[in-house]
Amino acid sequence: MIELYILLIFMIIGAIVAIELKDLLSSVIAVGAVGLGLSIVFLILKAPDVAITQLVVEILCLIILIRATLKRDLPFSTTGRWFLNTAITIAFISAFLWMAVQALKDLPEFGYPIMKVAGTYLKKGLAETGAANLVSAVILDFRAYDTLGEATVLFTAVIGVLTVVRRVGRKKPDGIIEENNE
Amino acid sequence: MSKEGEKGMSLIVKTITRLTVGLILLYGIYLVLHGHVSPGGGFAGGVIIALSFIHLMLAYGKEAAFKKLSQSAASFFESFGAILFLTIALLGLIAGYFFSNFLPKGEPFRLFSAGIIPLCNIAVSFKVGAGLFAIFVALVLLKLDSEKKE
Amino acid sequence: MGNFTTLALFCFSMLAVRAVNSQGTLVYSLGGWRPPAGITMVLDGLTAFMLATVNLVAFLIAVYAVDYMEKFTSKWKFYSLYLLMLAGMNGVLISGDIFNLFVFLEIASVASYALVAFGTERHELEAAFKYAVMGTVGSLFILIGIVFLYSFSSTLNMADMANFFGEKGPGNVTIMVSVLFIMGFGLKAALVPFHAWLPDAHPSPPAPISAILSGILIKSLGVYTLVRIFYNVIGVTPKLSSVLMFLGALSMVIGVFLAIGQWDFKRLLAYHSISQIGYVVLGIGLGTPLGILGGLFHLFNHSVFKSLLFLNSGAVEYATGTRDLRKTGGLFQKMPLTGSANLIASMSIAGIPPFNGFWSKLIIIIAAVQAGRYGYAGWAVLASILTLASFTKVMKYVYYGKLEEKWNKVKEVPFFMKLAMAALAIICLFGGALLIGQINRAFLQPAVEVILNGRNYGAMLFKRIL
Amino acid sequence: MMVYLLCLVLFCCGLYCILRKRNIIKIIVGVIISEYAVNLFFILTAYRIKGRSPIFSTGGDISNMVDPLPQALVLTAIVIGLATTALLVALAMRIYEKYGTFDITKIRELRG
């Protein structure tokens, strides 16, 4: 399991680099590194489906972000109360982490999940759905309604993006402006 | 993106794209069709299919990509995927429940098994692929527009 | 098209109310899988109550939008997003599975981010970005909470989870999950420490969208989910309920104080939304039957009169092109129907006796006194008085006073807008009738019972299935 | 336990970025990092010591598979995250077009 820790620490370093870099393009690429690390972690954790999806989604995210940031300026300004705000943020985050540590003690230990519901999937999954890939069986048969919702989220995002990129939102009081549907 | 006019990237990139883009598309289709027996499935396959078109678009400029898959075709495929998925769900009502797995399960580990799951995979892949391509095209067009204005 | 769909949804939800009355709680398992394995839809008193409220208001707003949206391009995109958002809200309300609830919550949120940016003006984009970032952070907190719950109880079905927590009792995980959910759903409901996005996001978009965001979105995504998870799944502890009451009272007072200094019509209304959500959370947080009744009743009333107020502000903007209170005046002569609708809504939100807002506020205050929380009761009265003051200001500056020269050509708004506003005003006028015996028993009481039942929710549902 | 904690530290990195950075693209970066951390946390809770991936093969025994349910949920969560990110990027690009900057201290038409 040592490689898991190494990858996690690598990801945290990558995240910090991505956050603190002054150059937007490098920052976006550092996020890409974090995402690829995450994909390998998924493989180590025996989740090949998620690893593949994470990989391709990561690539797509990266392309979109690079398209957005290329040749763009980067003004950095530090406001007057920089120290105070940072202190508040760090205090909030440490309180959050402290509570999380308390709660994590009560969770089942790492590597030993309870698997009450999942147990039924393991036992009955193959016989009742006929799919060898249990993850497919879960998303498209046991919980297909979730997948419907998720496809709807994507559809909503498509329409949302199309809405946001419209050139003209309001019709002017006089004069006719033709609709521009992409 | 492009250094030399609107027509895409350099010759090396174009050649390699020509060789790989078909393979990427085929890999996506493979992932979709074998989603129920091996890792992969509708989402991953759909995203890869979208990526293959995006790849084409990045290398050759937007005209070449639109020749293969125009925007109206993309929106058609998206709606088609959604309607296919919903139809499968509604057909389940005949068997008793919304989303019930009504087809014969077949023999495990074969391509034609697992009832409605492969069909759902195909529907989801249509939807995801076309949807992501549409998002990307919208963003690219927005960017081109704003650059033109400057 | 959009109107027919919303009308159909409204009819269905009325049917749902009847079904709950005649048959009790209904459960539907998708795909035919038994509950812990598959996803269930649950229709009980609380769900039916919320469904009726949401779809009633959504229908009237859709009617209003017929004329109002003529000013904007791409109407079909507006209707698609509007219906998707409505679908998301209905899905949240009817779902019995916690991850499914999250998915539908995301549908509604993503649609609302896009709707806030609908006009694609500078300030709209900025408000939408702020709202989208805040909303996404809220969703992430909710997702982490779901991970904790799943890892701890190894189930996603809310009824099953309620049984589990019933056996286990409170612990560290419960506290952590409560904190995460208060942050997450608090962000969605705009309780006071997390309210920063609301005064920007609610005034910016077109009026029908403001009305639906302020009238029902923050309630079905924020308050309903908060109530459902805290009361029916995790189980409410005295500490938790005092936190809820404190947040409610804080929102109530701070919202109204911020509202009173505003000169922008819609922005003022947005701050009042924070304040009124405070009333709802305070009432529900009290935990007594009367308090919950008051809270839910106020939720219904607030949906009605706040959407009416936003529609009114939209009508004023439609007719005059401005929403700055200092520039308008004397519009009552020109727009009598809008003016009287606004008068009714203002009196209702401020709690003047014959209107519905009075009854629900009265119930909440009585419940607070009965529970021995005199401080909170005092705050509620104070907030009510300040609300009255700020709406007196609105009436004075917009509708009464001297008519300025440049507004001489102002006309009353088109027919469909008038129709929607008149219908909402009539509901405001007779909303108090919901408390009368028979209707109360059919509509509000089942919802109160569901909340009071607490974690028996789980046991009850499983009894229905088996 | 330690693994969970590292994962939450990653989440807090993203949170810090969202709360403190004054650049729109940086905020989006923070959102993406937080999403990654949450997905990772979900998968971590599903892992089983010496488990194998949840795919049946002929003749393999099924007793030590990892939990398939969180994996399915994470697939959904990833796509939802992608949708949200796309919308955020679209908004960011429009804001850049209108204001000519990514700096949110300069984008202040609405007052608090």
**Domains in chain B, number:** 1
Please provide the size of chain C in residues. Answer: 466
Q: B139 to chain D nearest CA, in Å?
A: 7
- Is B5 part of a structural domain of the chain? no
Hey, is the C-beta of A18 within 8 angstroms of any chain D C-beta?
yes
Hey, is the C-beta of D26 within 8 angstroms of any chain A C-beta?
yes
pLDDT score, position A73: 56
Band of pLDDT at residue B92, cut at 50, 70 and 90: low
Q: Which of C422, C434, C383, C102 is CA-nearest to residue C258?
A: C383
Residue linked to tokens 């990801």: A11
Using the 3D structure, point to which of A72, A100, A126 is the last residue of a domain. Answer: A72
Band of pLDDT at residue C2, cut at 50, 70 and 90: low
How far, in whole angstroms, is CA D97 from its chain's centroid?
A: 27
Band of pLDDT at residue A81, cut at 50, 70 and 90: low
**Domains in chain D, number:** 1
- Is B21 part of a structural domain of the chain? yes
pLDDT score, position D96: 80
pLDDT for D9 beyond 70? yes
- Is B2 part of a structural domain of the chain? no
Q: Which residue in B55, B139, B144, B149 has the most chain A C-beta atoms within 10 A of its own C-beta, making it the best mutation to test that interface?
A: B139
Hey, is the C-beta of B57 within 8 angstroms of any chain A C-beta?
no
b (16+ CB within 10 A) / e for B114-141: bbbbbbbbbbbbbbbbbbbbbbbbbbbe
- Is A84 part of a structural domain of the chain? no
Q: Which of C270, C262, C299, C259 is CA-nearest to residue C201?
A: C270
- Is B49 part of a structural domain of the chain? yes
Instruction: Report the neighbours of A using a cutoff of 3 or more CB pairs below 8 angstroms.
Output: B, C, D
Radius of gyration (C-alpha) of chain A in whole angstroms: 23
Residue of D nearest to B134 (CA): D86
Band of pLDDT at residue A180, cut at 50, 70 and 90: very low
pTM: 0.89
- Is D42 part of a structural domain of the chain? yes
Q: Which domain holds residue A31?
A: 1-72
- Is A100 part of a structural domain of the chain? no
pLDDT score, position C19: 63
- Is D55 part of a structural domain of the chain? no
pLDDT for C454 beyond 80? no
Radius of gyration (C-alpha) of chain D in whole angstroms: 19
Q: Report the 10 Å Cβ neighbour count for C28.
A: 14
pLDDT score, position C24: 62
Residues of chain B positioned with their CB less than 8 A from the CB of A63: 54, 58, 136
Using the 3D structure, point to which of A72, A94, A128 is the last residue of a domain. Answer: A72
pLDDT score, position A182: 33
Q: How many pairs of residues across B and D have Cβ atoms under 8 Å apart?
A: 29
| A82-92 pLDDT per residue, tens | 778 788 888 88
CA distances from C249 to C187, C374, C379 (A): 16, 12, 7
pLDDT for C457 beyond 80? no
Domain holding D89: CATH number?
Answer: 1.10.287.3510
pLDDT score, position A181: 37
- Is D91 part of a structural domain of the chain? yes
Question: Residue C353 corresponds to which tokens in the numbers above?
Answer: 């006796």
Q: B123 to chain A nearest CA, in Å?
A: 10
Residues of chain A positioned with their CB less than 8 A from the CB of B50: 60
Q: What is the mean pLDDT of residues C246-266?
A: 83
- Is D4 part of a structural domain of the chain? no
- Is D70 part of a structural domain of the chain? yes
For residues D59 and A62, the answer to whether their CB atoms sit within 8 Å is: no
Least confident segment among A141-145, B88-92, C458-462, D58-62? D58-62
User: Residue C33 is nearest to which of A99, A142, A161, comparing CB atoms?
Assistant: A142
| Mean pLDDT, chain C, integer | 80
Residue B3, burial from CB neighbour count under 10 angstroms (0-12, 13-18, 19+): exposed
- Is A97 part of a structural domain of the chain? no
Band of pLDDT at residue B118, cut at 50, 70 and 90: confident
- Is B17 part of a structural domain of the chain? yes
How far apart CA C202 and CA C191 sit, in angstroms, is 14
Q: Which domain holds residue D24?
A: 9-48+66-112
For residues D90 and A62, the answer to whether their CB atoms sit within 8 Å is: no
Least confident segment among A55-59, B105-109, C57-61? B105-109
Residue of D nearest to B143 (CA): D93
Instruction: Report the neighbours of D using a cutoff of 3 or more CB pairs below 8 angstroms.
Output: A, B, C
Cα torsion C178, C183, C186, C188: sign: negative
Question: What are the φ/ψ torsions at residue C26 (nearest 5 degrees)?
Answer: -110, 145
Q: Which residue in C33, C74, C80, C120 has the most chain B C-beta atoms within 10 A of its own C-beta, making it the best mutation to test that interface?
A: C33
- Is B137 part of a structural domain of the chain? yes
Band of pLDDT at residue B2, cut at 50, 70 and 90: very low
Residues of chain A positioned with their CB less than 8 A from the CB of B116: 140-141
pLDDT score, position D62: 63
Residues of C with CB under 8 A from a CB of B: 28-32
| A14-50 pLDDT per residue, tens | 888 888 887 788 888 888 888 888 888 888 888 888 8
Q: Which residue in D7, D11, D26 has the most chain A C-beta atoms within 10 A of its own C-beta, making it the best mutation to test that interface?
A: D26
User: Residue D75 is nearest to which of B43, B109, B138, comparing CB atoms?
Assistant: B43
Band of pLDDT at residue D112, cut at 50, 70 and 90: very low
Band of pLDDT at residue A178, cut at 50, 70 and 90: very low
For residues C38 and A142, the answer to whether their CB atoms sit within 8 Å is: yes
Q: Which domain holds residue B103?
A: 11-149
| B8-66 pLDDT per residue, tens | 567 777 788 888 888 888 888 888 887 777 777 778 888 888 888 887 777 777 666 66
| D53-101 pLDDT per residue, tens | 777 766 666 667 778 888 888 888 888 888 898 888 888 888 887 777 6
- Is A160 part of a structural domain of the chain? yes
Residues of chain D positioned with their CB less than 8 A from the CB of B43: 75, 78-79
pLDDT for C159 beyond 70? yes
How far apart CA C116 and CA D76 sit, in angstroms, is 25
Q: What is the mean pLDDT of residues C433-460?
A: 73
Q: Which of residues 92-111 of D touch A (CB under 8 A)?
A: 92-94, 96, 101-103, 105-106
- Is A135 part of a structural domain of the chain? yes
- Is D59 part of a structural domain of the chain? no
pLDDT score, position B25: 85
Hey, is the C-beta of D13 within 8 angstroms of any chain C C-beta?
no
**Domains in chain A, number:** 2
